[in-house]
Structure 1
Amino acid sequence: MRLLEHLWVLAVDLVRAAVARRPHQAGVPAPLAAPRLELPAGLVQPDRTTCGSACLVVARMIGDRDYATWLESGEVAGRTRDPRPRRRRFADEVLATHVRTNRWYAASGAPQVGWPRALGTAPWALAHELTATGGTSAPGTRHRVRTVSPRRRGEAYDAVACAAALGHVVPLYVGNRLLPRHVVLVVGGDDAALTAYDPASGGHVTITRDSFERGGLRVAGWSEPWLAVLPAGRTAH
């Protein structure tokens, strides 16, 4: 049984390495010009399946100050005040986002592969949603999914850190050796470490370069970086 487990892990690693060999665009679009928002504490995912959706909502909050103000206070110019408590407003927005991302068509109207909500948010659906809403880049900016090969984690780290240093947020899928299981949102970083919003706790976690390259993360109980959703170098039309 142990031998079968090792063979399965090896097969998974080989597939990830093969996928990660595909050429990736080096260009990263400019982020939005507005100053970055400092996130309030307590933005916790409402259930076990909505980590990806929570990251999408927080990405939009960072890039859209009016949206962030509405989620925080229920008030925004031109709209009636929302009477729900902040925690309920955030939870409802995350749940609505989860429904939207898991349909058979993206927010843009383009077809996509539907995904059971019980399994979280598929990476391609998360990329489609960020392409439509923008996050920290202009709406319509194409986002792509980059596989983190166990053999080339340093290159993936550099891509994530570069985007973060330029002002972008980057959803990062983490898990164990076999599967991605959780999504966090990288909100800053440099050559030494990344800072990420963790929807499981509503707080921030530090991901060092060393732990990323070793596959020794300590993020919500998960150790392996699997996938990063990055802004691409051109805008979708």
Structure 2
Amino acid sequence: MRTVCGIARRAQLLTVGDTAGGRIGAVAPRGRPLLGNALGEQRCDGIRLDQVDGTTCGSAVLVALAAWADPAEADRLARIGFDARQRQVHRESNRLWPRALGTTPWGMVRWLHEHAPHAGRYRVRFVDDTSAADVAALSAAVAAALAAGRPVPLLVGSLVPRHYVLALAGTDRGWRVYEPSSGSVRALDVERIRRRGLGPVVGFDRLHLALLPTGP
């Protein structure tokens, strides 16, 4: 059965065409990354880098991406801390959407554009994980972004989207991803997307969408 975003992918193809391709410009990191590529729990100044509550997975991903891109983000984190910064970002990225329901992908994209411009521009790319061709195209686009040094937020879930993670780097079999509920970096084999079996790595089995970088 297709997910909600799998159905949305069909509509996306009809309205705007295939958004998986296109040149991905490299963006040199200007900040001080919070996350490393080594597997395991991530800490900064002794603080575990996990989401502050059940609604801030997207906010934790945005803070991590902003810290990679913008040197000013490290100063903000030093002043108020990782948990408080997540709450602040959660408010900023949800103007009309109820914060109890997390953050929409469009709220994520808008926040990056307005608050972390050095990260470059991003767009929403749905995926139909029942289509091998669509999964392959999305996986190739994510791999190209990571090869260009651009982290990629991913939204996973069941039949409905539930949880954000952040792809950080490519590997021989897939990607290293930051999973904010555990505050850890994990290895994700892209074959799990095709099998709809992401749960043991990121908590939910199905990939719904990626926020793909566009230009710098």
The CA distance in 2 between the partners of 1:11 and 1:65, in whole Å, is: 38
1:202 matched to 2:194: no
3-state SS, counterpart of residue 123 of structure 2: strand
Name the stretch that deviates more: 147-156 or 186-195.
186-195
User: Could you tell me the TM-score, scaled by structure 2's length?
Assistant: 0.82
Q: Decide which of 13, 18, 24 is 1:23's aligned counterpart.
A: 18
* Cα distance, 1:101–1:206 mapped onto 2, change above 3 Å: same
How many residues end up aligned between the 2 structures? 198
1:162 matched to 2:125: no
* Cα distance, 1:206–1:13 mapped onto 2, change above 3 Å: same
Percent identity over the alignment is 35
* Cα distance, 1:17–1:229 mapped onto 2, change above 3 Å: closer
Segments of structure 2 that go 5 or more residues without pairing to the other structure are 36-41
Quote how far apart the aligned CAs of 1:16 are: 3.8
1:96 matched to 2:88: yes
- Does the CA-based 8 Å contact 1:147-1:226 persist in structure 2? yes
1:196-235 matched pairs, under 5 angstroms: 196-217=177-198, 218-233=200-215
Segments of structure 1 that go 5 or more residues without pairing to the other structure are 1-8, 75-81, 104-113
User: Could you tell me the TM-score, scaled by structure 1's length?
Assistant: 0.75
3-state SS, counterpart of residue 186 of structure 1: strand
1:87-166 matched pairs, under 5 angstroms: 89-103=81-95, 114-134=96-116, 138=118, 141-150=120-129, 151=131, 152-166=134-148
The CA distance in 1 between the partners of 2:6 and 2:72, in whole Å, is: 45
Residue 26 of structure 1 aligns to which amino acid in structure 2? G
Deviations 1:84-139, CA, capped at 9 Å, x for gaps: 6xxxx111100000001001xxxxxxxxxx2110100000110111122337xx36
Quote how far apart the aligned CAs of 1:142 are: 2.6
Larger radius of gyration: 1
The CA distance in 2 between the partners of 1:142 and 1:149, in whole Å, is: 23
- Does the CA-based 8 Å contact 2:122-2:214 persist in structure 1? yes
- Does the CA-based 8 Å contact 1:148-1:227 persist in structure 2? yes
The CA distance in 2 between the partners of 1:11 and 1:212, in whole Å, is: 13
Residue 146 of structure 1 aligns to which amino acid in structure 2? R
Quote how far apart the aligned CAs of 1:161 are: 1.2
* Cα distance, 1:123–1:17 mapped onto 2, change above 3 Å: closer
The CA distance in 2 between the partners of 1:19 and 1:190, in whole Å, is: 32
